[in-house]
Structure 1
Amino acid sequence: MSKNELPDTKAGRVDWVIRAETNAEMRRRYDLWAQDYDSDVGSYDDYLVPWEATKVAAQVLDKNMLIMDAGAGTGLVGQTLKEAGFQRLIAVDYSEGMLEIARQKQVYQDVHKCDLSRPTEFEAGSIDCVITCGTTTQMPCASLREFARIVRAGGQIIFAVVPDAWVECGYANILSELEAQGQVSVISRGEPFQMLPTTEPEFYCEIWVMDVH
């Protein structure tokens, strides 16, 4: 695994990583990208999702809630949540390279490497809120079932959704199942915005809030 595989430009690196064809290859590319990730997409101008998701979190969550940042990467969402006054934060991601950067920022109480598409070590109903950003095309859709399991009744899932990918990647079907079972309901959908305006301007995102029952 050599860093020399990384494309020379920021736009090239973003495209190279998000278009990996398998989860294993995506994990490998994220590990390679970790050291350059924040400089490539770590500002509001480059990547709006952490700030937009945090705005929503500040409106609907109590600052004392235990929040899981799922697909935390290098901790950009954790940083914005911390700056907004949230203190009880844990990070989960499958890329050790990305999580190593997140640890260095010291915004999380705990950091876990795991695959959220499978049952995890977290107990049912042990989390107040899962917040996940930039993961619609990056994380297996089965993760939505795991979120519904680990979030307590009365808690929330805040999901930065890429609408077309939400359907294509299978999330829509799983959400329909969870809604039919009375486990989850969508209570709000934000207006679409460009998630990566400087590198992937055609990618639009919406911040959804779901209640867990």
Structure 2
Amino acid sequence: MVTGETMNRNASTAGTETLAVDGAQPISVELVARVGEACDRAEPGQAVWQLVVHASGAPARARLEELTVGLVSRWERTLRRLERLPVPLIGIADGDVGGPALDALLATDYRIATPDARLVVPVGAGATWPGMALYRLAHQGSQTAAVRRALLFGEPIGAPDALALQLVDEVTDDVAGALEIVAARTATVAGPELAIRRQLMFDAATTSFEEALGAHLAACDRTLRQVAAGADGVAA
């Protein structure tokens, strides 16, 4: 079980921004603002080079009483901003992960799960919550039987199944050690180029070759210009 003060607040240490999202708590204006502030600190020009999302907690049922479509829309837009940040996004799934914690986890690039982790789609008003976690689970989990049962009936996806479905990248008791390895692996990959590659990857699932070609050529042209500019600087 992951414990410590960083599970309860945001912290920025040595280039790492840490964001804790408690899925047992409902979506709120405060949560939207807190995630937005973490995004602010990870934008270009800041000292942050990676963002670690600690996702834990799940509601016993979908907590809908205080939600409005406007608030949900703000939350989904903030998650989309998180998903597009120009830094590596590392997720940690600990215990039951549902509600906004599941939303945030599914927006990360690399996901580490503890052995007792379970991805939980909350049920309320006679059905599962139809937020964008359903979209991301269906898109990333390839419509497998386990994902289908989770989306339709709220059946949790345990860590072994989540790993087999590639919804998480590794399952380990040594979260600190796994974070250290991932941090070293991603240390040289950051900035707008990472965000561009991530978007090209997202688009590949729904875009034809002909439609994608222009965006990929533009990215290639951008890279070649950067290489040429770097070579000119060395020559000078």
Q: Which has the larger radius of gyration?
A: 2
TM-score (norm 1): 0.29
User: Normalising by structure 2, what TM-score?
Assistant: 0.27
Which has a greater percent of helix?
Answer: 2
